[in-house]
Amino acid sequence: MHGENRANLVSHFKTPDVLKNSVLYIKGGDEECRYDTDFERLFRQESNFQYLFGVREPGCQGIIEIDTGKSTLFIPRLPEEYAIWMGRILTCDDFKQKYLVDEVRYVDEIPSIMKTIDPAVIYTLKGVNSDSGATAVEATFAGIENYRVDNGKMFVEIVECRVIKSAKELELMRYVNNISSAAHVQMMRTCKPGMKEYQLESLFKHDSYFKGGCREQSYTGICGCGPNSSTLHYGHAGAPNDRLIGEGDILLIDMGAEYHCYTSDITTSFPATGKFSDDQKAVYEAVLAARNACLAATKPGASWTDLHALSYRVLAEHLIRMGVLTGEPQELVDKDVVSLFMPHGLGHHMGLDTHDVGGYPKGSVRSTRPGFKSLRNVRDLKTGMVLTIEPGCYFIDMLMDQGLADPVKSKHINKDRLNQFRGFGGVRIEDDVIVTADGVDCMTVVPRTVAEVEAVMAGGEWKIAGQVI
């Protein structure tokens, strides 16, 4: 798979502007300790390096020669004593067999090997991640200043590669989606009032690791019940999923396991008791309708921004029906009333990172409108893209107050009806989908209709990839 990925990237460099005898040069992640202690964080490979080399070990680097496609992996030269603590030291040959590269050498040999290659241009990786605003750390070696270095092109090209997933990448992503789907089902079956939110987090992690071999999670688990379900990034250290689950609570669980650094990102929402109340059902059906509309409209050529607006229109229809809003759906979208209930974007690219690269290609502009400005993607869709579709509807005090205080927006809000939802929390439905030639392939396989959710929570069977769980 990674050989294919390397070939893919190299093909982007087969253009007239790329000089003969040029190379791509990239570094992997390093092991890190916490603060000043010797607590070693479990190493997780940097995603671009993972894409090209798929190497589990820290401290590696790589060179790909563009003319021939020849790949050389550089590994750290470890002291002999390392074997006592970390196991038999793998030789260069071991690495070659393990990772199917053309050659393996030690990191300290990079300067001399670069001298032998004598590249016309060394392409290094540098660029701004559009989700974090942070810049990747460029690879370097002693003497690199004697070469011509281009640190811009590789970032642009590798992002384009990563935006379209290969068949093998999709296979991995489908695997981890199946594992995460099954873990969500186990949580739904186990949940009952009186449990702590973190017990569901624990169960999910165990299910996906024990049964699926997923040692890492794609992100910190969000397991909110009651009012916590409207805190979009609940579960962080200051609010660590430690509330008691109450009888009338709705739960919002956003968790996804990771496998071979490929992520999944799934949200389920369900009532603590296993039976939806009328209001819970109304909010849930609103989000489900938005999700269904977006799934139906997802296809090559579709604009992601339009899909986001579509989810708002459907939500508006339902909020009107529920008596919370008044007016025309499109008018409510245009006046930024709906974004009060869904302040985040419809979804994001997903791959080696949960918020995967490529949402804002060069020249694209971020909107300043509420909701739209939170979009993590503004591309039109193409076959082979993987995205999350995750509409939600939340009752967030701050935003409800903002809406009621706004002279334009408040005219569309039924204050008394709205106030009945204070403390309700929120609902999100998040699926991971592949854009196919004629529409969409939803990798996520969890109960979605009210009937399905209630049946599974009552202990009913559920099928994933042909297997009853």
- In the complex, which residues of this chain contact its own copies (CB under 8 A)? 29, 33-47, 56-58, 80, 83-88, 90, 128-129, 131-132, 134-137, 196, 198-199, 201-203, 205-206, 209-210, 213, 215, 219-220, 228, 231-234, 236-240, 242, 343, 353-355, 396-399
> Does 431 help bind Mn ion (rule: CB under 5 A)?
no
Q: How far apart are CA 93 and CA 107, in angstroms?
A: 15
- Beta carbons of 267 and 390 less than 8 angstroms apart: yes
Which of its own copies, Mn ion, none interacts with 397 (beta carbon under 5 to 8 A by kind)?
its own copies
Q: How far apart are CA 467 and CA 211, in angstroms?
A: 14
Q: How far apart are CA 448 and CA 469, in angstroms?
A: 16
> Which CB atom, from 45 or from 298, has the smaller least distance to its own copies?
45
> Which CB atom, from 325 or from 429, has the smaller least distance to Mn ion?
429
> Does 124 help bind Mn ion (rule: CB under 5 A)?
no
Report residue 465: phi and psi, to 5°: 50, 45
Q: What is the dihedral of CA 249, 250, 251, 254, to 10 degrees?
A: -150
Q: How far is the CB of 48 from its own copies (least distance, A)?
A: 9
- Beta carbons of 62 and 102 less than 8 angstroms apart: no
Q: Which of 428, 425, 427 is nearest to 397 (CA)?
A: 425
> Which CB atom, from 224 or from 447, has the smaller least distance to its own copies?
224
Q: How far is the CB of 27 from its own copies (least distance, A)?
A: 11
Which of its own copies, Mn ion, none interacts with 399 (beta carbon under 5 to 8 A by kind)?
its own copies
Q: How far is the CB of 136 from its own copies (least distance, A)?
A: 4
Render 313-369 in DSSP notation, one character per residue: HHHHHHHHHTTSB-S-HHHHHHTT-GGGT--S-S--B-SSSSS-S-SS-TT-----S
Which of its own copies, Mn ion, none interacts with 353 (beta carbon under 5 to 8 A by kind)?
its own copies
Q: How far is the CB of 349 from Mn ion (least distance, A)?
A: 10
Residue bearing tokens 């300043």: 368
> Which CB atom, from 339 or from 388, has the smaller least distance to Mn ion?
388
> Which CB atom, from 218 or from 273, has the smaller least distance to Mn ion?
218
> Does 177 help bind Mn ion (rule: CB under 5 A)?
no
CA distances from 271 to 7, 97, 98, 218, 454 (A): 48, 50, 47, 25, 9
> Does 130 help bind Mn ion (rule: CB under 5 A)?
no
> Does 356 help bind Mn ion (rule: CB under 5 A)?
no
Q: How far is the CB of 238 from its own copies (least distance, A)?
A: 4
Which of its own copies, Mn ion, none interacts with 134 (beta carbon under 5 to 8 A by kind)?
its own copies
Which of its own copies, Mn ion, none interacts with 86 (beta carbon under 5 to 8 A by kind)?
its own copies
- Beta carbons of 333 and 313 less than 8 angstroms apart: yes
Q: How far is the CB of 344 from Mn ion (least distance, A)?
A: 9
Type of residue numbered 5: N
Q: Which of 439, 295, 306 is nearest to 377 (CA)?
A: 306
Stretch that binds Mn ion, among 3-11, 24-32, 385-393, 446-454 (CB under 5 A): 385-393
Token pair for residue 136?
């990747």
Which of Mn ion, its own copies, none interacts with 142 (beta carbon under 5 to 8 A by kind)?
none
Taking residues 248 to 287 in sequence order and writing x for each that binds Mn ion by CB under 5 A, - otherwise, the string is -----------------x----------------------
> Does 444 help bind Mn ion (rule: CB under 5 A)?
no
Which class for 42: exposed (0-12), middle (13-18), buried (19 or more C-beta within 10 A)? exposed
Which of its own copies, Mn ion, none interacts with 388 (beta carbon under 5 to 8 A by kind)?
Mn ion
**What is the Cα gyration radius of the chain?**
24
Number of residues lying near Mn ion (CB under 5 A): 2
> Does 46 help bind Mn ion (rule: CB under 5 A)?
no
> Which CB atom, from 222 or from 283, has the smaller least distance to Mn ion?
222
Q: How many CA atoms does the CB half-sphere of 50 hold within 13 Å?
A: 18
User: According to CB under 5 A, which residues from 289 to 328 bind Mn ion?
Assistant: none
> Which CB atom, from 29 or from 119, has the smaller least distance to its own copies?
29
Q: How far apart are CA 178 and CA 172, in angstroms?
A: 10
Tell me if residue 305 falls in helix, strand or coil.
helix
- Beta carbons of 25 and 122 less than 8 angstroms apart: yes
> Which CB atom, from 42 or from 365, has the smaller least distance to its own copies?
42
Q: How far is the CB of 356 from its own copies (least distance, A)?
A: 9
> Which CB atom, from 271 or from 351, has the smaller least distance to its own copies?
351
Type of residue numbered 32: E
Task: Characterize the bridge pairing of strands 431-436 and 439-442.
Answer: antiparallel
Which of its own copies, Mn ion, none interacts with 116 (beta carbon under 5 to 8 A by kind)?
none
> Which CB atom, from 169 or from 431, has the smaller least distance to Mn ion?
431
Which residue(s) pair with 262 in the sheet?
259
Type of residue numbered 367: S
- Beta carbons of 147 and 221 less than 8 angstroms apart: no
- Beta carbons of 2 and 54 less than 8 angstroms apart: yes
> Which CB atom, from 265 or from 353, has the smaller least distance to Mn ion?
265
- Where does this chain bind Mn ion (CB under 5 A)? 265, 388
